[in-house]
Amino acid sequence: MAPDLRLSAAVTVDLVVLAVRDDALQVLMVRRGTAPYAGRRALPGGFVEADEDLLQAARRELLEETGVRLGRAHIEQLRAYGSPRRDPRGRVVSVAHLVVLPEASVPSAGSDADAAQWQPVHDLLAAPRKLAFDHATILRDAAQRVEDALEDSALATRLCRAPFTVAELRAVYEVVWDQELDARNFHRKMTGTPGLLVDTGRVTTRNGGRPAALFRPGRTTRLNPPLVRG
C-alpha cells in the first residue's frame, strides 16, 4: 500500500436482518461476549477483509455470525455510520446493510450462530439504551426504510415464503405498518399490478375458508402507483 494512504479507520459491516415472525417485525440480534458493551445485544457484523467488497463482507458475516445463508433473499446497503465516538476502541466506520428474509427462516443454528436470536424490533426500539454502540439508531433507520419501501416496491413479497397467498402478503403490510388494510382493495391492487405476482396455479386452504391462489414474486420490483398508508 502506498505510503501516502492514511489508514484512518477500521471498516465494518453491520447487518439488520429482518423477518416477520409471530405477527411482529423481528430482527436477528447477537449477544456480545466481550467488551465494549459485553452482554448487550448487538447487530451481527464484523470487519471487512482486505479483498472483499462491502456486500461480500456482509454476506460472509451473516453466515459466520448467524448461520444464515443468503439465497435469493434481499440485501441492500442501508448507509454508513461514522461518528468518531461510536466505538470506544477507536475510529470505526460501519456500513450497515439491510437483509430481508421470508418468515420462519433459520431461527439459529451453527457455531457462532447460537448467540443469534430473533427479537421484536418494536421492543428493542422502546429500550434503545440496551443495545450496543449506535445500533438502535441503525435499527431505527432500517425499520423506517422497510416501512417506506412497502409503499412503492415489491419488498413485501420478499418477506413472505413463496408460494404465498395475497392474504399472507397483506399480513406483512399490516404488521409492518401496524395498520389494518381492506382485504378486497388490497387484493385488487396486488393482483392488478402487472408482473408483481406470478400465479403458481396451485391453491391452499391453510388459512381456512375458500381456497386461496398461491403466488410467487414476479419480475416487477416497483409498485406504481404506490400503496399509501392511511
Partner DNA sequence: CCAAAAGTGTTTACCCTACACCCATGT
Partner DNA sequence: ACATGGGTGTAGGGTAAACACTTTTGG
Interface ranges with its own copies (CB under 8 A) = 1-2, 4-11, 47-54, 77, 79-80, 82-84, 89-93, 95, 225-226, 228
Residue 205 as a binder of DNA (CB under 7 A): the answer is yes
Residue 191 as a binder of DNA (CB under 7 A): the answer is yes
Q: How far is the CB of 202 from DNA (least distance, A)?
A: 11
Choose among 132, 114, 188, 150: nearest CA to 25. Answer: 150
Q: Using an 8 Å Cβ cutoff, are 188 and 137 in contact?
A: no
Residue 27, all three cell numbers: 430482527
**Residue 211 interface partner, choices DNA, its own copies, none, CB cut-off 5-8 Å depending on type:** DNA
User: How many angstroms separate the CA atoms of 228 and 230, rounded?
Assistant: 6
Residues 121, 171, 162, 224, CA torsion sign: negative
Cell 400465479 found at: 199
Residue 212 as a binder of DNA (CB under 7 A): the answer is yes
Query: SS3 of 102, please?
Result: coil
Residue 225 as a binder of DNA (CB under 7 A): the answer is yes
Site string for DNA, 149-188 (x = CB under 7 A): ----------------xxx--------------xxxx-xx
Find the DSSP H helices in 133-165: 135-152
**Per CB under 7 A, which of residues 65..104 are in contact with DNA?**
none
Residue 36 as a binder of DNA (CB under 7 A): the answer is no
User: How many angstroms separate the CA atoms of 113 and 100, rounded?
Assistant: 18
Q: Which CB, 121 or 227, lies closer to DNA? A: 227
**Residue 194 interface partner, choices DNA, its own copies, none, CB cut-off 5-8 Å depending on type:** none
